[in-house]
Amino acid sequence: MLEKEQLRGLYVLTDATLTPAESMLEQVERVLKSGVKVIQYRDKYASDEEAEKQCIRLQALCDVYEAIFIIDDRLEIAYRINADGLHVGEDDVSYEEARALLGDDKIIGVSCYGDLERAKKYASLGADYVAFGAFFPSPTKPHATMVAPEILQRAKEQLSVPICAIGGINAENIEQLSCYDIAMYSLISAVYKDDAIEENLEKLQAKI
């Protein structure tokens, strides 16, 4: 049974470059063995066929470790493989369309950038978490607009859904956000760098 209360802690994403298809499963298993409970498949370049194959394997792996598996943007795949959830951004499939297809028991998270009104809107419509950022320059999203960390304080005061921080977060800067005591921290590069997944996650975990 999917526990939405698990939407806490480090939220680790895959990446077309840092977790290539041939090593993705092994890398994600190392992440799960380190205690991470939320995983997202994010690959804007893979074909639907390739993405679906990977997502089937990742969902099965997350089931073994009792972790939540979320797919970025690819609604049809999330529906077909009965994934735990979907993450949508401004240019992706709409939250309303995703909820209508996936149903109320699936997790849907929404990117809100620096827009608190957007977050309030989707929280009121039933989004399971809202994500703000980028807070720092990100190697995987170099053109993302920067957002001031203080928005997390305002979001905490005005929202009751879990709040996620995203964008360029690493062991050197995560404490600038963890002081706001939010639910989740979305990570890519900081986890996989130097192929030291276990050590990287231990350092990050210690700082939240």
Question: Residue 68 burial (CB < 10 Å; 0-12/13-18/19+)?
Answer: buried
Q: Is 41 annotated as a binding residue?
A: yes
Q: What is the DSSP string of 42-85?
A: --SSS-HHHHHHHHHHHHHHHHHTT-EEEEES-HHHHHHTT-SE
Does 180 count as an annotated binding residue?
no
Tokens for 168? Answer: 């360029």
115 is in an annotated binding site: no
189 is in an annotated binding site: yes
**Which is it for the CA torsion 147, 152, 157, 159, positive or negative?**
positive
**Is 139 marked as a binding-site residue?**
yes
Tell me: is residue 111 an annotated ligand-binding position.
yes
40 annotated to bind ligand: yes
- 108 φ/ψ angles, rounded to the nearest 5 degrees: -130, 125
Q: What angle do CA 95, 113, 139 make, to 5 degrees?
A: 115
> Is residue 19 marked as binding?
no
**73 carries a ligand binding annotation:** yes
Whether residue 80 is annotated as binding a ligand: the answer is no
Is 72 annotated among the ligand-binding residues? yes
- Residue 23 is assigned to a ligand binding site: no
End-to-end CA distance of the chain: 27
Please give the Cα distance from 204 to 44 (Å, whole number): 26
Residue ranges of the binding site: 40-44, 72-73, 92, 111, 138-141, 168, 188-189
- Residue numbers in the known binding site for Mg(2+) are 73, 92
